[in-house]
Chains A and B, each alone.
Chain A
């Protein structure tokens, strides 16, 4: 009850502040106000400039558009499951989205687990190491996740149980800058999204 009231109060304050900010912005004149005489006597060394309106210098302030994200308490048990995942990650070669033999055997093992728990829906995250560019890696991670999904489907899993997402090089598993760290970061990571 108290929490609800606090929430409503905060919402009111937010609306009021947005309304006030919008109102102020509207009330501002577009350019200069009326001309004002320059302070002090005109300097002698230079030709006296005729009086001119002072130019108004101003800028608007950005207003955040979104409310804060709400807590995702409902997913906590899944989080616990995912933090100690029964799925093994699949690793890739440099600049590559191809599953090698080791990769295929990991996907096969993960497929067995998915068949054992038919209610589970998963998201396969594609990740890259820092040796690719930020932009291209977003697509490469997608290709990695898609390669895993394609193989899972070929093993008989329903495509609608498998979502994919790429995080490029945004979330390295190992923040190091060594071959060993990079090898760990070029991965497809299995996340259970519902069960």
Chain B
């Protein structure tokens, strides 16, 4: 929902800017160079990314001071995350005189610092209402290329920075940013023990957070084992595996309504749900017929259908972006390997042949056409990616701890995964090129992340 809002906003921004001196193409494609036009897209020196500076926002009243300072850093982080811009470190801005208004921006000083683009934001806070005015300036032309106002509550000031970052990525790079996306994961961070167990066992509950790990919220409160959460495509529901009845079963939490659904209710063991790309169906593993196999069920519990039929284990399904194929794990050849099968159960083929053990396939969104998975690479696991077009596998992590449970960001440029590299199992994100690993969780142990649209 935020995404749709942001897209409309970014387009509106470009349109209004185009209402300046001359008509203009929509962002981000630079128009043909004509002397009378304002270039909306800020470029860097040839062959280098544009250099961005994001100084503190201006507090229009004392109550806004804290927000003004904090969200500039959030915006800087968000813009750095996609690695489309060179972000000039914020601790080097001391030489540039601070501007109270946009006409005070010290363009020569920013130019001296090497900035191609400079952000200017102001924050006003009246009670719980926040109003933010934001502009992005081309340092060379001193023209504003992006200008917009935002208002809302002070409940989560970071969301303003995330919104601005997504809109800048959209306008400047035609890129769908992930700053307003969220993660969900399973965690033992509340340090509770399951009541009435046969031994001391940790409760694991489902949590969500922003993509950067901030703004953590607990979704389940049943004090049992809750695992493998995944987002519905509209990011308003989370399907997960819960042992609240003493055995694994699927639950769907409509997280903004406080409503819970049980698409597979009825005494059978079901786990590892994954929503179809259109959100209408769920593929999952079940031992209802005596052996772990894949099944598809409509979200309302109707239309149950078996996909695989083999005496070995078939598990850990994921949909192709078109919803016509399913990648999964099977040990029918001995050890767990990745396979692909049509959603109709036909056209089975094995994908991984060079791994000793592979699990948790996760299919990238378009335009990429690849499947990430966890592969045994020694005592532990590393994240690898199989390129379906080229048939080649590349490695994303390289033995820093054990790395499991990959999940793609909605723009396909990042993966969330778990790693033991910093001690306990934690959620990290990393670029699809293996660069830019960031630790997202730090509290307790955290497992099986999934990334919202």
Contact = CB atoms under 8 A, between A and B. Distances in A.
B404 A134 contact: yes
Interface in A112-168: 123, 131-136, 138-140, 142-143, 146, 163, 165-167
Nearest to A57: B152
Contacts of B290: 146
Given A68-B221, A167-B225, A55 B150 contact: yes
B137 interface: yes
A133 B374 contact: yes
B102 A43 contact: yes
A190 B255 CA distance: 36
B178 to A, nearest CB: 15
Contacts of A142: 269, 287, 292
B330 to A, nearest CB: 10
B142 A45 contact: yes
A133 B360 contact: yes
Given A58-B152, A79-B198, A65 B133 contact: no
Instruction: Tell me what chain B mostly uses at the interface: helix, strand, loop, or mixed.
Output: mixed
Given A136-B329, A171-B201, A47 B159 contact: no
A27 interface: no
Given A134-B447, A135-B272, A143 B292 contact: yes
Nearest to A62: B255
A59 to B, nearest CB: 6
B329 A189 contact: no
Nearest to A168: B227
Interface in B212-251: 217-225, 227-228, 241, 243-244, 246-248
B189 interface: no
Contact of A56 (B151, B221, B374): B151
B220 A64 contact: yes
A85 B335 CA distance: 33
In which size bucket is the chain A interface?
Answer: 35 or more
B284 to A, nearest CB: 11
A60 B199 contact: no
Interface in A53-103: 53-69, 71-72, 75-76, 79, 82-83, 85, 95
A56 B5 CA distance: 9
A167 B248 CA distance: 9
A6 interface: no
Contact of B329 (A47, A76, A135): A135
B24 to A, nearest CB: 13
B429 interface: no
Contacts of A53: 149
A68 B205 CA distance: 12
B172 interface: no
B363 to A, nearest CB: 15
Contacts of A83: 198-199
Contacts, number: 209
A153 to B, nearest CB: 12
A191 interface: yes
B196 A72 contact: yes
Contacts of B197: 79
B196 A64 contact: no
Given A55-B5, A82-B198, A142-B269, A166 B258 contact: no
Contacts of B287: 142, 146
A50 interface: yes
A25 interface: yes
A195 B247 CA distance: 19
B143 A46 contact: yes
A31 interface: yes
Nearest to A191: B198
Contacts of B217: 61-62
A23 interface: no
Given A46-B102, A65-B259, A136 B316 contact: yes
B137 A46 contact: yes
Interface in B274-329: 285, 287, 290-292, 313, 315-316, 329
B336 A49 contact: no
B159 A135 contact: no
Contacts of A143: 292, 313
Given A56-B151, A133-B360, 8 more contacts: A41-B101, A45-B107, A54-B149, A66-B244, A136-B359, A138-B241, A139-B313, A166-B248
20 contacts: A18-B258, A32-B151, A39-B60, A40-B101, A46-B102, A49-B16, A50-B16, A52-B149, A64-B218, A79-B197, A95-B357, A132-B359, A133-B404, A134-B227, A134-B360, A134-B405, A134-B418, A138-B285, A165-B248, A166-B269
Interface of A: 18, 21-22, 25, 31-33, 36, 38-41, 43-47, 49-50, 52-69, 71-72, 75-76, 79, 82-83, 85, 95, 123, 131-136, 138-140, 142-143, 146, 163, 165-167, 170-171, 173, 189, 191
